[in-house]
Amino acid sequence: MNKLRLKDIIKTPEVVGIGNSVEVKGWVRSRRGNNFVQFIALNDGSIVTNLQVVADTAKFDEALLKQITTGSCIHVTGKLVESQGKGQTVEVQAETIEVYGSADPEQYPLQKKGHSMEFLREIAHLRPRTNYFGCVLRLRHAMAFAIHKYFNDRGFFYLHTPLITASDAEGAGEMFNVTTFDLNNIPRTEDGQIDYKQDFFGKHTNLTVSGQLEGELGAMALGNIYTFGPTFRAENSNTPRHLAEFWMIEPEMAFYDIKDNMDLAEDFIKYLVQYALDNNMDDLKFLNDMFDKELINRLESVTKVDFVRLGYTEAIDILLQAKKKFEYPVKWGIDLQSEHERYLVENHFKKPVILTDYPKEIKAFYMKQNDDGKTVRAMDVLFPTIGEIIGGSEREADYNKLLNRVHELGMTEEQYWWYFDTRKFGSAPHSGFGLGFERLLLFVTGMTNIRDVIPFPRTPQNAEF
Ligand code: 4AD
Ligand code: MG
């Protein structure tokens, strides 16, 4: 099988062989020309650059050429030659052209360049055919691949945690129910409560908000694991940084304390950014030139600087002294808003910041409690333009302390008996974190809305495609 992709021809024409016959297939980005010659810009998704196909009008039926409009799909055989024109080094001199599928210019929505991101979101089924989304989707793939490579190279095991669970890992109650009940006829117990015993799983279940709790079970057996899968949050936040369905990477490591955890998080994210710089420069250049002139600079600088490491209490002091007026007032105990996080990163330190030791009230039940009785060993990694990109912590490994905290929060041990078992049987110090995959992609692509770094975004009131 010899299936050439346009990338092979454009990047390594000498390997394909100038003067050789080639066969190319792809979607037409544009056709222009005159009575004698037509120039077709062809793209097959393998690379942002188009391949120029040159067709002598004398060789082809006028009716056939007319069908070659923007959006149509064609199959061309011809000779690879050095290009006469500017803008490309090689082109294909067409000998045969077959139209696989036409695209009526009256109806095809992607006729011209420069559509707004908002408009493209309405045609999420077609937007992968634009240059922007081609770049974003190739980078998305590269980052997913690099994540697996990073952990595999370091002896971490990929653990598949369930998407359907009966627990709320983050304790925020922002979950989608999973049920097979007929919603018009929900079984009730005698005292009028929903009778989940009659539901598919015999209990109340939901889509997971995080694979962490099960990840911890894995780490207590395999040492170092990571999860990488979709997570679901029914939080009604219509922001450029929140999705209802997003992908998360959650490493969990036995015998790591918070310092080891921070070191891993920093190394991991730098590796991913460097991977994109090393392997996806064409796409990054396109996004840099067309969309965000600081993108490549920002990526390069993150790989070189040491991230600031700072306690929450010190961060609050800095924010209190800031001249900037914040929409949400600052005082010790608040959950930091994106405006606070970005002030620290973009204005004060001008580099990524890892914040630790947050008040226990604003963090999840499983985090290791500090001796002060007020704070927990949490760590959030804050990034320029994004705010929080990673959230993690050292975990509470002490059975009694964990139990007290669970009771304080009005939760019960029974709900999490299997989780408590890890603290009963061979408990160990351990830590982990969660990287939001789409937040990473916002940073790596320079896109400003999280809806534009996932093929089919799920947000409140939006699940069309
Ligand atoms: O800070 P979070 O809620 O942490 C956890 O879920 C932990 N269980 C992780 C762990 O320690 N294993 O979420 C982790 C990251 C955030 O830092 C953010 O990047 C991303 O997930 N995230 C979202 N991304 C997109 N849309 C949302 N609604 C998100 N909520 C969190
Ligand atoms: Mg968080």
Query: Domain of 237: which CATH number?
Result: 3.30.930.10
Which residue has its alpha carbon closest to ligand 1 atom 26? 242
pLDDT of residue 87: 81
CA of 74 to the centre of ligand 2 (A): 47
Q: Are residues 306 and 377 in the same domain?
A: yes
Within-domain flag for 180: no
233 lines ligand 1 (CB under 6 A): yes
The answer to whether the predicted template modeling score (pTM) of the entire model surpasses 0.85 is yes
How would you classify the pairing of strands 430-436 and 224-232?
unpaired
Q: Are residues 103 and 155 in the same domain?
A: no
What is residue 183's three-state secondary structure?
Answer: coil
CB burial string 322-351: b at 16+ within 10 A, e below: eeeeeeeebeeeeebebebbbbbbeebbeb
Q: Residue 30 is encoded by which pair of tokens? A: 């544009």
**pLDDT score, position 95:** 98
In a domain, 137, yes or no: yes
Of 52, 80, 108, which residue sits at a domain end?
Answer: 108
Alpha-carbon distance of 7 to 47, in angstroms, equals 5
Residues 293, 438 share a domain: yes
Same domain for 78 and 169, yes or no, is no
The verdict on residue 196 lying in a domain is no
Same domain as 46, residue 139: no
The SS3 of residue 138 is helix
Give the per-residue pLDDT at 336: 96
- Are 167 and 245 contained in the same domain? yes
Do 248 and 310 have their domain in common? yes
277 & 406 share domain: yes
CA 26, CA 46: separation in Å to the nearest integer?
A: 10
Tell how far the Cα of 385 is from the centroid of ligand 2, in angstroms.
16
Specify the pLDDT at position 465: 86
Residues 133 and 101 both lie in one domain:
no
For residue 246 and ligand 1, the question of a CB distance below 6 A is answered with yes
Do 104 and 245 lie in one domain? The reply is: no
Q: Which residue range is the domain that position 305 belongs to?
A: 127-174+209-452
Ranges of the chain whose pLDDT falls below 70: 1-2
Taking the CA of residue 243 as reference, the ligand 1 atom at the shortest distance is 26
CA-CA distances (angstroms) from residue 123 to 44, 137, 390, 442? 19, 16, 31, 20
Closest CA to 219 of 167, 161, 140, 164: 161
Q: Does an H or E element contain 286, and which?
A: helix 281-290
User: Which amino acid, 395?
Assistant: R
The total of structural domains in the chain comes to 2
Which residues face 33 on adjacent strands?
A: 38
Nearest-ligand number for the alpha carbon of 381: 1
CA-389 nearest atom, ligand 1: 19
Give the pLDDT of residue 192. Answer: 94
Tell me which ligand sits closest to the C-alpha of residue 210.
1
Ligand 1 touching residue 395 (CB < 6 A): no
203-232: b (≥16 Cβ within 10 Å) or e:
eebbbbbbbbbbbbbbbbeebbbbbbbebb
Q: Mutation test of ligand 1: which of 217, 231, 246 has the most ligand atoms closer than 8 Å to its C-beta? A: 246
Shared-domain flag, residues 361 and 264: yes
H runs (alpha helix) in 343-436: 399-408, 417-424
> Are residues 346 and 248 located together in one domain of the fold?
yes
- Report yes or no on 201 lying in a domain: no
Instruction: Tell me, yes or no, whether 74 lies in a domain.
Output: yes
For residue 420, being part of any structural domain is answered with yes
